[in-house]
Amino acid sequence: KQWYQRRVAITAGIAVIKYWGKRDETLNLPLNSSVSVTLSMDSMFTETTATKSNETVFCINGNIEAPSKRFQRLIKRVGEESEVNVDVSVNTFNTFPTAAGLASSASGFAASATVMKLLYKTRSSISELARLGSGSACRSTYGGFVRWNAGVKEDGSDSVATQIAPASHWPHLRVLVCVVCKDMKSVPSTIGMQRSVETSNLLKYRVQTVESKIDKLTRAIRERDFKAFAEVTMRDSNEMHAICLDSYPPISYLSAVSHRIINFVHDYNSTHGVTLAYTFDAGPNAVLFCERENVEQIKSELSERFLPGGEVHEIIECGVGTGPLLKQ
C-alpha cells in the first residue's frame, strides 16, 4: 500500500551516560557512545503527522516555521535515497518545554524521521535519519534502555542506536521530572558542545574513560541493580557539567535550585540508602530515578521541600517507555 500520510507519537530518551561533543558536526557523529532511558508517554511526548504535499511546510504547535537547516538535512537525505522530490507537510505537536534541556528536539526529530521513513523508501534506518536532525534523536527511536554507538566510520553508518533492554525488563523503575525552568537555555547544546570540544581538557579525559562507565551501567540495567545504576548515572551527570564549567568561557546550565535538588538526593540517600538518583541534561531541570515502592515518599518530600516556594513548578511522574507509537 502506498501511504500519503503517516502519524507517530514519540517521547524523549533521557541520557544517563551523556553525549557531549561531536567528531563530525554535519552528520552529528559523537565523540563517545551514550546510553538513555526512554520515557513513557504519560505526560511528555511529540506527535508528528507528515503528509505528501506540493511544498514543504513545517508547523510546530500550530505555528508555521521555516524548516531548520537540520530538518532540511533530513529531507535532503530522504530525497537522495528515495530518488524522488520530497515535498511534505509536517505538523508537530509537542508537550515538552522547548529548548529547556528536556530532550524536546530529540523527540521531535525522532518523530519526523519515523514518519519520513514510513512515507518514503530509504536505505538509512530510522535511527540514522533521526541522528541527522539531532544526535540524541537516534536513541528516541527505540523504547526501554538504549545505547547510541559512537561508531568509527566517516560516513556515520555505524553510529546508530541499539536497544540494551526493553521497557518490560525493569517495569518498576520510575522517573520524576522536576521542572525548574521552562525557559530556553542561554547556550544552545550545539554551541556548548563545540565550545567544550575546542577548550575543555576534561572532555579529552572523558572520551578515553566513558566506555568503562557504559559497561558498568549496562550491567546494572541487566541486573536491575538500582544502587549501581544510580551511582554511574549521577557521576556521569556531574562529569558532563564539570566539563561545561571547564570550557572557556565556562558554561553553566545548572541553577541554584538544581544544586539544591542534588543535595536533596544525597541527603535522602544517606538516610534511606541509595534509592534515588538524579541526572541533568543541558538545562536546570532535574530528572530523578527511583523504584516504584519509593515513589510516594520521594514525591511527598520533594513537594514539601520545593513546591511551596515555587522553586520547582511541577513534578511529572512517568515510567520507562516502549518506544514510538504509530497512530495510523
Closest CA to 240 of 219, 221, 213: 213
Closest CA to 326 of 115, 120, 103, 58: 115
Given a cut of 50, the residues of the chain with pLDDT beneath it are 99-100
Give dist(CA 134, CA 299) in Å, integer. 32
Helix (H, G, I), strand (E, B) or coil at 34: strand
Give dist(CA 37, CA 8) in Å, integer. 19
Q: For residue 307, what is the DSSP state?
A: T
Sheet arrangement for strand 88-94: 63-65, 57-60, 88-94, 46-52, 5-10, 325-326
State the pLDDT at residue 93.
87
Pairing type for strands 145-148 and 34-38 reads antiparallel
